Amino acid sequence: MLITVVIPVYRDAGVLARTLDATAFGDAEVVVAGAEGDLSSSDLRASRPDLVWVTASRGRARQMNAGAAIAHGDWLLFLHADTRLPREWWRVVERADRDRRVSHGCFRFALDSRTLAARLIEIGVRMRVWIFALPYGDQALFVRRDVFSRLGGFSDVPIMEDVDFVIRLRETGRMLVASEVAVTSPRRWEEDGWLRRTARHLSQILRYFAGVRPERLV
């Protein structure tokens, strides 16, 4: 079984370099999907010929679709540039592969911060996944490649592409929610403010399910 890890990036050279250094990818194929016109990763690209590099028009959904289009893996794992996978993470995907009823899965969410706000956000995410079966992209979503192809990949929307994708995946089989943790950088919360960013996320998801188009949520 081959796993392809697809990492969409936009002006994320520094954090991507740290993620690559901190993650053992084993025998997985790693595809970095950059945005056209973004030259910030040029030096990193030159120093990492062991990775597969592809560019697409800017947009996380478009970039991840471009990465998936050239992938050779039986499973696709979509990883944010600022998220670190756990040790021997591939064993989670192997567990999913052994159960044909499982079509997709995710890791448990954690933030690389010791603050109380981080712990509260983690609890909220755990409840969202448990009650609504709705993980986000920062939980390192993985999916069988044939299922991804059958669904036509990610919808070409500027935001909420992960939510849209997970909802469509529900019709394809079971979701494996791993107990192993994928750790995400708290940089966005620290930049925007913990309360402000959390409130914005909640507002966006509520408006999305109320029928507001993703183009209006940006």
- Residue 205 Cα distances to 157, 161, 208, angstroms: 14, 12, 5
The size of the chain, in residues, is: 218
**Model confidence at 127: pLDDT above 90:** yes
**Model confidence at 3: pLDDT above 90:** yes
In the CATH hierarchy, which top-level class contains the domain 3-217? alpha beta
Q: Give exposure, 162-200, as e/b (b: 16+ Cβ within 10 Å).
A: bbbbbeebeebbbbbbbeebbbbbbeebeeeebeebbee
Q: Nearest-CA neighbor of 68 among 9, 4, 12?
A: 4
- Domain-wise residue ranges, the chain: 3-217
Whole-model pTM over 0.85 = yes
Q: Nearest-CA neighbor of 104 among 33, 183, 165?
A: 165
Quick one: what percent of the chain has pLDDT higher than 70? 100
Terminal alpha carbon distance of the chain:
38
